[in-house]
Amino acid sequence: MAEQGLNGLELSAFHHVSRHCRRRDIGSNGAPLDTAFRLREGEEYLSTNWLERVAGSNRREQVDSVRRALTAKGFRVAGTSSFAVLNVGRAVAEFRDVLGISIRIIALGENNDPSHTGIYGYAAHNVAGAALLAALVGPDDVHPAYG
């Protein structure tokens, strides 16, 4: 239960989250496209992982920790997958300034995935939201699932 002690916490602006992207979500320039960030019908939030919450002194180690946690809970992470990294403050500000939407990134830790977080506040039909998040991810913000 200790892993869930932070649940409900809203991540602050200087933190970062990662989003798993399949090969079919990644464009020819190596950056993820909108499909990586669109909610499926019925989903309440976009699943992400809080990178400052996992073991690792650099981005590579943090991504490795996330991948191990996802794999441990049965999530398939293919060798061709990548993780896109989003800065919380930029994501929140872009939604507010461009779309007039207030999103929140909330800790949802589980025993086998303590860094689990969710992006709340935009709906499956909001394709502009998915486009906005995709556009925030630059080439330096994408990390292969297996370094």
**Chain contacts with another protein (rule: CB under 8 A):** 22-29, 32-36, 38, 40, 76, 78, 80, 98-99, 125-128, 130-131, 134-135
| Residue that has been written with the tokens 């992006």 in this structure | 119
Helices (H), the chain: 59-72, 88-94, 127-136
- Residues 137 and 35 sit within 8 Å (Cβ to Cβ): no
| Closest to another protein by CB, 2 or 24 | 24
**Residue 142: alpha-carbon gap to chain centroid:** 11
Residue nearer to another protein on the CB measure, 9 or 135: 135
Report in angstroms how near the CB of residue 64 gets to another protein at its nearest: 20
Q: In whole angstroms, what is the distance from residue 85 CA to residue 144 CA?
A: 11
Residue 130 Cβ vs another protein, minimum distance, rounded to whole Å = 7
Nearer to another protein, 9 or 77 (CB): 77
Helix (H) or strand (E) holding 131: helix 127-136
Q: How many CB atoms lie within 10 A of CB 141?
A: 18
Minimum Å gap between C-beta 145 and another protein is 12
Find the shortest distance in angstroms from Cβ 128 to another protein: 4
Q: Which residue, chain included where needed, has tokens 């499909």?
A: 35
Q: Compare residues 62 and 82 and give the one whose CB is closer to another protein.
A: 82
